[in-house]
């Protein structure tokens, strides 16, 4: 009867009198713990940045009570809540029980990296939707002569700069996750 290869290795070590945890397990476990801590910090930052949009949009709508500003605030709130809900769902692996084998740690790491790639895709969509809404808003305001060309260009430059920063961060996160997934290789559950 053939056992799991990892179990066979542990059994062999136990019979040989090995009384320490295999180095591979210890290093994989340490990497998983470090990854979890980093992901928890990342989750806190993502949610914190997302929820910063809420009071600002409320303040702008409160100061300028035109229907379009209230609509803008509602759109910001809906997008922020939707993306935050996705973020919490996507990072649910942070609250899973601990695992004990190298295979389990590696599988968990792979699931977390896939979650990171999903968050990058949502991040790109979030940036695109925001650019579309903000750019369209500025174009409409320019067309209706509510703002001048200087303010329009300043707004567009600001939108492009902020979006470029988000895209750079997302691209780095994607490249890192893909690199780590390549190092892990294919894993079967």
pTM over 0.85: no
Within 10 Å of residue 95's Cβ, how many Cβ atoms?
A: 8
pLDDT greater at residue 162 or residue 18: 162
Q: Tens digits of per-residue pLDDT, 12-47? A: 665 655 455 455 666 767 777 777 787 788 778 878
Mean pLDDT value across the chain: 80
Q: Quote the CA–CA distance of 90 and 122 in Å, as a whole number.
A: 10
Q: Tens digits of per-residue pLDDT, 98-132? A: 556 667 777 878 888 888 899 899 989 989 998 99
Q: Reduced to 3 DSSP states, what percent helix, strand and coil does the chain have, rounded to the nearest 5?
A: 85, 0, 15
């Amino acid at each position: 009867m053939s056992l799991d290869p990892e179990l066979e290795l542990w059994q062999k070590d136990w019979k040989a009198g090995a009384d320490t945890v295999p180095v591979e397990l210890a290093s994989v476990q340490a990497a998983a713990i470090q990854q979890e801590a980093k992901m928890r910090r990342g989750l806190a930052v993502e949610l914190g940045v997302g929820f910063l949009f809420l009071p600002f949009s409320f303040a702008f709508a409160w100061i300028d009570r035109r229907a379009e500003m209230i609509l803008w605030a509602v759109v910001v709130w809906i997008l922020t809540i939707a993306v935050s809900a996705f973020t919490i769902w996507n990072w649910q692996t942070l609250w899973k029980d601990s695992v004990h084998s190298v295979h389990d740690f590696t599988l968990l790491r792979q699931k977390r990296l896939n979650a990171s790639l999903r968050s990058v895709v949502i991040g790109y969509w979030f940036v695109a939707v925001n650019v579309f809404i903000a750019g369209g808003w500025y174009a409409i305001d320019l067309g209706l002569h509510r703002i001048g060309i200087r303010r329009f260009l300043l707004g567009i430059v600001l939108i492009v700069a902020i979006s470029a920063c988000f895209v750079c961060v997302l691209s780095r996160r994607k490249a890192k996750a893909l690199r780590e997934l390549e190092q892990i290789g294919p894993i079967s559950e």
